[in-house]
């Protein structure tokens, strides 16, 4: 019988039972992908992370699973894993090897305790999106207040803008119709200047609604800068998750000019809330 230990951290929050929870298996050496997927399905969180020995210049390699599939990159699992490993090793800088490439994370401490982290995300590419009518119909809205655009940083994120916070909060999308729009995460947003509210729906990825989407926060900063809603280099604050009882706060900024993106950073707090074990009979 093998014992597998994991840590649960609530990410993009500074208090327990808020933000987006992630389970981190700190030693997944020897696990097959099917076992990782089964464990992620058992825990049924947005994502579960499996830490493996490094293959390159990073401190560790990670694999990320939703309840239904593996992802090459995701934001809150990467940041949450950095918090967990940083707390175990006392390192203030970590590079985690993902299937989308290495992600460097800088941790900030209050005394010895990790309080905040900034991750340098993979640069997103801009993609065409041709199913606007089907997307709006699945969301139950008439139009987007800004051009709809898609960005790929390991997950394809589509952004739809609404006129008010009330309109975003009132959304009741048809998840079955949304799932067939495409293999994308749909982000609905509203805001101005440096304060934004979002909700994210990804039924095709096994996540009905996400409490905090770190992989979308960076592309959102890029999207807003490309539209001229913020300046390149501005830090935005994103609120997410209130509608599902998991209020979250994310920070993001993108550096670039015109259509060229040079750097994308996403930051947030996290707290460890649980530790557990699985006992698997081989």
pLDDT digits (tens, 9 = 90+) for 185-195: 999 999 999 99
Residues 102 and 42 in one domain: yes
Question: Does one domain contain both 108 and 154?
Answer: no
In whole angstroms, give the CA distance from residue 42 to residue 67.
8
For residue 106, what pLDDT is reported?
98
Rounded CA-CA distance 242/51 in Å is 30
Determine the pLDDT at residue 127: 95
Q: Give the number of other Cβ atoms within 10 Å of residue 5's Cβ.
A: 12
Rounded CA-CA distance 18/246 in Å is: 4
Same domain, 162 and 246: yes
Same domain, yes or no: 239 and 173: yes
Q: Which pLDDT tens digit goes with each residue over 101-135?
A: 999 999 999 988 999 999 999 999 999 899 999 99
Q: Give the Cα-Cα-Cα angle 49, 50, 52 (nearest 5 degrees).
A: 140
Set 47, 97, 209, 239: catalytic member: 47
pLDDT of residue 222: 98
Q: Beta partners for 159?
A: 149, 187
Distance CA 101, CA 121 (A): 9
* Same-domain check for residues 86 and 10: yes
Residue 103 sits in the same domain as residue 137:
no
Contact assessment for residue 49 and residue 80, using Cβ atoms and an 8 Å cutoff: yes
Known active-site residue 47: yes
Query: Are 159 and 98 members of one domain?
Result: no
For residue 230, what is the domain's CATH number?
A: 3.10.310.10
In this structure, are 115 and 130 located in the same domain?
A: no
Other beta carbons within 10 Å of 208:
14
pTM flag (> 0.95)? yes
| Residue 196 and residue 107 share a domain | no
pLDDT of residue 51: 98
Do 148 and 260 fall into the same domain?
yes
Q: Which domain holds residue 211?
A: 125-264
User: Is there a single domain that holds both residue 243 and residue 139?
Assistant: yes
- Helix runs in the chain, H state only: 33-43, 75-89, 132-139, 165-169, 175-179, 214-227
Instruction: Please give the pLDDT value at position 75.
Output: 98
User: How many domains, the chain?
Assistant: 2
Q: 102 has which bridge partners?
A: 97
Looking at the structure, do residues 214 and 254 belong to the same domain, yes or no?
yes
Q: Which residues of the chain fall below pLDDT 70?
A: 282
């Amino acid at each position: 019988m093998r014992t597998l230990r994991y840590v649960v951290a609530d990410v993009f929050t500074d208090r327990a039972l808020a933000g987006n929870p992630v389970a981190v298996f700190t030693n997944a050496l020897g696990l097959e992908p099917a076992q990782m997927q089964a464990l992620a399905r058992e825990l049924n969180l947005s994502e579960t992370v499996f830490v493996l020995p490094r293959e390159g210049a990073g401190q560790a390699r990670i694999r990320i699973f939703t309840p239904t599939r593996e992802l090459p990159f995701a934001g809150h699992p990467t940041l949450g894993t950095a918090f967990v490993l940083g707390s175990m090793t006392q390192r203030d800088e970590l590079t985690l090897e993902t299937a989308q490439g290495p992600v460097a994370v800088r941790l900030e401490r209050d005394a010895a305790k990790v309080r905040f982290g900034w991750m340098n995300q993979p640069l997103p590419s801009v993609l065409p999106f041709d199913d606007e009518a089907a997307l709006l119909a699945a969301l139950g809205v008439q139009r987007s207040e800004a051009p709809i655009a898609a960005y790929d940083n390991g997950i394809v994120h589509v952004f739809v803008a609404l006129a008010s916070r009330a309109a975003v909060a009132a959304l009741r999308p048809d998840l079955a119709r949304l799932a067939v729009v495409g293999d994308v995460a749909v982000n609905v947003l509203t805001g101005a200047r440096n304060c934004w509210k979002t909700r994210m729906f990804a039924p095709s990825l096994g996540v009905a609604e996400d409490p905090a989407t770190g992989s979308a926060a960076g592309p959102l900063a890029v999207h807003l800068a490309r539209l001229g809603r913020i300046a390149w280099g501005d830090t935005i604050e994103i609120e997410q998750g209130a509608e599902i009882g998991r209020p979250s706060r994310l920070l993001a900024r993108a550096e670039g000019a015109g259509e060229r993106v040079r750097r994308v950073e996403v930051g947030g707090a996290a707290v460890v809330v649980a530790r557990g074990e699985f006992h698997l009979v081989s």
